[in-house]
């Protein structure tokens, strides 16, 4: 095998193979105790251009690789439940051993994590970024360039210049331009004005840091003024992005409030029942999601879709049972209805504690709901909240269509506007009451599915939303779906806007005071109910 002598950063003379076994040689040296050998190992792995190199270097950077002290072999380590230490080979049949096949029990002192120092970490990061530049996916190339910004070497600078001439993706080209501009600014190259102009349009944190350092260090008044203007422009964009993020969080909170309150708006508006057990119907929907995931452990992504109709049915059936066996005997007696449903809420909470225990349960988030949508470097929208906003709008649209264009919806509207006249026209108001209460309860169960993706599922889950639900219904107008939508989204946004200034608790108090004052002015809410019964 041919060898070439090179000198490491520490002055140690090492030998590098020139044949096709660079990958194997690099993997062998990776388990060395000495950092010069590890640096050589990283160079060999990168030079091999082996597709496994990127994964191995990332595992090394994440601290997941260990070496056996006797053999210096690189392995995975895993601790068993009884505390015993096991190791697994890094490669099995030439592939990365993701399944930890071939576990072998060893003494804890016989293995040690492959150590890194700052120089080696920088070498690995730049190596990973260099590999990423050749990736087919533009997103991978963009991630590689972001990792290089502010840390370019002459070699990586040259690679980016070459890549800029070949790059076809506009976003990647923009990142390359920013990376080169930051590097030029740090080196104080000749055309600094153009570099500052490029960075003025960037929201990359490293670009702003480079402008701050340059503005503090430069003695050229014109360039200093230009850099300060660029910083002011960036800060303005960051401010707008922060407002957009607050608005998004407000809409997501408002969507949760709408989902929690929209079922209550139906039952309260049509039947005039103050249902204090509404929060427990939401809780039942969340626990239904948990049970569905237990039954479908290998299909978490599909389980959420299955849980939506399941939660609607479970909560809807419980709601119909509540109406048939309790509420139907208490119509026209609101105080007794309130007390009875409050008692039912306690019964449902205790039933859940008896079945599932008082401990909170965690519901897994599907892969398609995980992560975030990156709008720009300072603004990202979490996918689970984005899906909940869309889910809220879909539920609202379906419910609106049901009440507007179906026979049941016509009867519900007739009963809500004038119960006596509807009965005179042959509408079975008792049947409509049961179906309406079941519909509102089912929608509450669907809200529980959404809440299970934002918080832990527990017996007290519904109690956190019952008061807010009543606030939304009263503010929007009793029984009005559009009022519920507008009120829920408005209160959510208002809450999130005030939180940074007043704190979470004081923001809720201010919202409550606003609603009290608003109801004094407009007792029937934003969208008052129409009909003779509403006028009485």
DSSP 339-383: HHHHHHHHHHHHHHHHHH-SS-BPPPPPGGGSSEEEEETTEEEEH
Would the pLDDT of 2 be above 50?
no
Q: Smallest Cα–Cα separation from 285: which of 363, 368, 347, 384?
A: 363
pLDDT band, residue 530 (cuts 50/70/90): low
DSSP 328: G
Residue 308 has pLDDT above 80, yes or no: yes
Q: Which helix (H) or strand (E) holds 122?
A: helix 118-133
Structure tokens given for 166: 């070949």
The secondary structure of 138-197 as a DSSP string is HHHHHHHHHHHTT---HHHHHHHHHHHHH---HHHHHHHHHHHHHHHHHHT-S-HHHHHH
Buried/exposed code over 67-96 (b: 16+ C-beta within 10 A; e: otherwise) = bbeeeebbbbbeeeeeeebbbbebeeeeee
151, 180, 152: which is closest to 165 by C-alpha? 180
Q: Which residue has the tokens 């009909």?
A: 531
How many other CB atoms sit within 10 Å of the CB of residue 425? 10
Q: What is the pTM of this model?
A: 0.74
Structural element, H or E, at residue 113: strand 111-113
Distance, in Å, from the CA atom of 210 to the CA atom of 187, rounded to the nearest integer, reads 11
**191 backbone dihedrals φ, ψ, rounded to 5°:** -95, 65
Position 183 scores a pLDDT of 85
Mean predicted confidence (pLDDT) in 222-245: 90
Find all residues with CB under 8 Å of 190, minimum gap 6, and list them.
none
In this prediction, residue 3 has a pLDDT band, given cuts at 50, 70 and 90, of very low
Determine the average pLDDT of the residues in 11-24.
57
User: pLDDT tens digit string along 178-214?
Assistant: 888 888 887 766 678 888 888 888 888 888 888 888 8
CB-CB neighbours of 246 under 10 Å? 15
Name the more confident of 317 and 206.
317
d(CA 38, CA 25): 11
Contact of 412 with 403, CB cutoff 8 Å: yes
Q: Which of 73-82, 343-352, 370-379 is predicted most confidently?
A: 343-352
Task: Quote the DSSP letter at residue 457.
Answer: B
Structure tokens at 189: 């190259």
Q: How far apart are CA 517 and CA 520, in angstroms?
A: 5
Q: Residue 331: its pLDDT value, please?
A: 77
Instruction: Give burial (CB, 10 Å; 0-12/13-18/19+) of 150.
Output: middle
Largest distance between two CA atoms of the chain: 101
Residues in the chain: 536
Per the structure block, which two tokens stand in for 473? Answer: 């219904």
Residue (of 148, 214, 204) closest to 180 by Cα position: 148
Asked if the model's pLDDT at residue 18 lies above 70, the reply is no
| Beta bridge pairs of residue 86 | 78, 105
Check pLDDT > 90 for residue 393. yes
Listed in sequence order, the DSSP H helices in 300-333 are: 300-325
Range with lowest mean pLDDT among 243-252, 270-279, 361-370 = 270-279
pLDDT above 90 for 52: no
Q: pLDDT band for position 387 (50/70/90)?
A: very high
Compute the distance between CA of residue 275 and CA of residue 252 in angstroms, rounded to an integer: 25
Is the pLDDT assigned to residue 470 strictly greater than 90?
no
As a whole number, mean pLDDT of residues 428-436 equals 82
By the 8 A CB rule, do 256 and 388 touch?
yes
Quote the pLDDT of residue 233.
92
* Secondary structure (DSSP) of 14-58: EEEE-STTHHHHHHHHTT-SSHHHHHHHHHHHHHHT-TTHHHHHH
Give the pLDDT band of residue 397 (cuts 50, 70, 90).
Answer: very high
Averaged pLDDT of the chain? 83
DSSP 8-state code for residue 485: H
Q: CA dist 165 to 158, 181, 370, Å?
A: 11, 16, 35
Give whole-number Cα distances, 86 to 71, 317, 409, in Å: 16, 51, 63
* Model confidence at 301: pLDDT above 60: yes
pLDDT at 15 over 70: no
Task: Tell whether the model's pLDDT for residue 39 goes beyond 50.
Answer: yes
Question: What digits encode the pLDDT tens for the residues 131-183?
Answer: 888 778 888 888 888 878 887 877 778 888 888 888 888 888 888 888 888 88
Instruction: Report, as an integer, the average pLDDT of 455-478.
Output: 84
Domain ranges of the chain: 3-119, 136-218, 250-364+382-535
pLDDT of residue 190: 64
Residue range 250-364+382-535, CATH number: 1.10.3470
Separation of alpha carbons 199 and 231, rounded Å: 9
Percent of the chain with pLDDT over 70: 93
Rounded CA gap, 355 and 352, in Å?
5
Mean pLDDT of 349-368: 89
9 has pLDDT over 50:
no
Confidence of residue 16 (pLDDT cuts 50, 70, 90): very low
């Amino acid at each position: 095998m041919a060898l070439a002598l090179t000198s490491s950063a520490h002055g140690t003379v090492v030998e590098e193979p020139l044949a096709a076994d660079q990958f194997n040689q690099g993997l062998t040296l990776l388990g060395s105790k000495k950092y010069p050998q590890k640096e050589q190992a990283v160079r060999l792995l990168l030079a091999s251009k082996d597709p496994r190199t990127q994964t191995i270097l990332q595992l090394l950077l994440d601290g997941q690789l260990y070496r056996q002290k006797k053999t210096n072999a690189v392995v995975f380590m895993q601790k068993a439940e009884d505390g015993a230490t096991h190791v697994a080979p890094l490669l099995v049949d030439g592939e990365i051993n993701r399944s930890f096949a071939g576990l072998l029990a060893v003494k804890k002192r016989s293995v040690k994590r492959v150590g890194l120092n700052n120089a080696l970490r920088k070498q690995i990061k730049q190596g990973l970024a260099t590999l990423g530049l050749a990736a087919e996916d533009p997103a991978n190339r963009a991630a590689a360039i972001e990792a290089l910004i502010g840390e370019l070497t002459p070699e990586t600078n040259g690679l980016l210049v070459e890549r800029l001439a070949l790059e076809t993706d506009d976003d990647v080209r923009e990142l390359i331009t920013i990376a080169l501009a930051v590097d030029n600014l740090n080196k104080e190259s000749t055309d600094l004005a153009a570099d500052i102009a490029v960075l003025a349009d960037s929201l990359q944190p490293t670009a702003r840091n480079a402008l701050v350092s340059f503005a503090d260090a430069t003695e050229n008044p014109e360039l200093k003024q230009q850099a300060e203007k660029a910083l002011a422009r960036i800060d303005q964009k960051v401010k707008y992005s922060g407002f957009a993020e607050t608005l998004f969080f407000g809409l997501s909170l408002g969507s949760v409030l709408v989902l929690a309150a929209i079922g209550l708006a139906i039952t309260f508006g049509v039947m005039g029942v103050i249902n204090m057990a509404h929060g427990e119907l939401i809780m039942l929907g969340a626990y239904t999601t948990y049970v569905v995931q237990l039954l479908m452990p290998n299909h978490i992504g599909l389980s959420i879709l299955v849980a939506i109709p399941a939660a609607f049915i479970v909560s809807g059936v419980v709601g119909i049972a509540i109406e048939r066996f309790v509420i139907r005997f208490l119509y026209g007696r609101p105080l007794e209805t309130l007390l009875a449903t409050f008692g039912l809420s306690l019964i449902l909470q205790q039933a859940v504690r008896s079945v599932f225990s008082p401990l909170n349960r965690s519901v897994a988030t599907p892969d398609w709901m995980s992560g975030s949508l990156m709008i720009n470097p300072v603004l990202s929208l979490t996918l689970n909240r984005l899906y909940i906003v869309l889910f809220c709008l879909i539920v609202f649209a379906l419910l609106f269509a049901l009440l507007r264009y179906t026979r049941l919806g016509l009867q519900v509207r007739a009963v809500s506007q004038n119960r006596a006249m509807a009965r005179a026209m042959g509408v079975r108001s008792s049947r409509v009451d049961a179906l309406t209460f079941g519909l509102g309860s089912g929608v509450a169960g669907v809200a529980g599915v959404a809440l299970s993706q934002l918080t832990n599922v527990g017996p007290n889950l519904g109690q956190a939303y019952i008061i807010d639900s009543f606030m939304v219904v009263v503010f929007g107008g009793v029984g009005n779906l559009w009022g519920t939508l507008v009120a829920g989204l408005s209160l959510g946004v208002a809450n999130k806007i005030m939180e940074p200034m007043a704190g979470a608790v004081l923001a809720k108090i201010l919202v409550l005071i606003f609603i009290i004052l608003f109801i004094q002015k407009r007792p029937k809410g934003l969208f008052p109910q129409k009909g003779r019964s509403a006028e009485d």
